Amino acid sequence: MWPYIFAAVLGALLGLSDLMSRYRDAPFSALQNFYTYIFAIINSGASIATLLIIKEMNLVSWPNAGSESIILLQVIIAGVGAMAILRVGFSIQISGETLNISLATLLQPILQAADNEVDRARASNKLRVTKDLMLGLNAEAALRELPTFCLFLMQSVSAEDQKRLADDIKALAEQNLQDDVKLISLGSALMNTVGENVLRSAVAAFRESQNRRLQPAAAE
């Protein structure tokens, strides 16, 4: 019985980690909605089914290994393999058109529901944080310099994410919006990319730099 329990736990943890990786700025927010646990349960079930097939068909062997080592290997393969099985797809031709079918298609509504729930839960907190941090800054200078502050504090932002952020900021700068709206939108975009703590540090550094630039003018 214990191999199936371990496989189920491993499948659930991998499913949860998959969802948490989608919310890099606040990964644990994914654990606060119902659909996340449905997704984890599906992954657990897939891991149990995969382990059952492996054991019944004796698909895993390891020469000179003890029975416990083989069972452990089966559990690991079942837990990891279930993630792949849930994403395996195939194509069929119907009336000259290619139709892609996969279990991932069935999981997509659950993932979308989880995304929506997390977004709704985070929206009010994100608005509060960005208002507190961003309002009062020079909008033009913030659009030009604050992203640089944020990105230099990070080491793991991919080139793709940096380009997406740059495109969002460029589009924001070109829109005819009030400064407060631009600042809040900029803060939200930066928080999505680098997280709240990095944004707070970057804004503090930017405010200090901005204040230093204003001091000589005030002294004159």
- Over 80: is that where the pLDDT of 141 sits? yes
- Over 80: is that where the pLDDT of 85 sits? no
Query: Residue 104 half-sphere exposure, CB side, CA atoms within 13 Å?
Result: 10
List the single range of 3-12, 119-128, 137-146 with lowest mean pLDDT: 119-128
- For residue 178, the model assigns a pLDDT of 92
pLDDT average, residue stretch 53-63: 76
Q: Among all chains, which residue has been given the structure tokens 């298609």?
A: 105
* Average pLDDT along the chain: 80
> Of 150, 141, 136, 133, which is closest to residue 190 (Cα–Cα)?
150
Band (pLDDT 50/70/90 cuts) for residue 185 is: very high
Query: Residue 17 half-sphere exposure, CB side, CA atoms within 13 Å?
Result: 10
Distance CA 38, CA 34 (A): 7
- For residue 115, the model assigns a pLDDT of 73
Question: What does residue 96 show for φ and ψ, rounded to 5 degrees?
Answer: 80, 0
Q: Decide if 193 contacts 165 (C-beta within 8 A).
A: yes
Percent of the chain beyond pLDDT 90?
13
pLDDT, tens digit, for every residue of 205-216?
A: 888 887 777 665
Distance CA 23, CA 7 (A): 25
pLDDT average, residue stretch 2-21: 83
pTM, whole model, 2 decimals?
Answer: 0.59
Which of 31-35, 89-93, 124-128 ranks highest by mean pLDDT? 124-128
Distance CA 9, CA 14 (A): 9
Expressed in angstroms, the distance from the first to the final Cα of the chain is 80
**CB burial of residue 162 (10 Å; 0-12, 13-18, 19+):** middle
Q: Under 8 Å CB-to-CB from 122, ≥6 apart: which residues?
A: 26, 29
Band (pLDDT 50/70/90 cuts) for residue 124 is: confident
Q: Under 8 Å CB-to-CB from 193, ≥6 apart: which residues?
A: 25, 150, 157, 161, 164, 165
- For residue 11, the model assigns a pLDDT of 85
Distance CA 106, CA 175 (A): 39
pLDDT average, residue stretch 151-158: 84
pLDDT average, residue stretch 92-99: 64
- For residue 75, the model assigns a pLDDT of 86
* Tokens encoding 42: 């599906």
pLDDT average, residue stretch 36-56: 83
- Over 80: is that where the pLDDT of 3 sits? yes
- Over 70: is that where the pLDDT of 57 sits? yes
- For residue 208, the model assigns a pLDDT of 86
Band (pLDDT 50/70/90 cuts) for residue 180 is: very high
- Over 70: is that where the pLDDT of 58 sits? yes
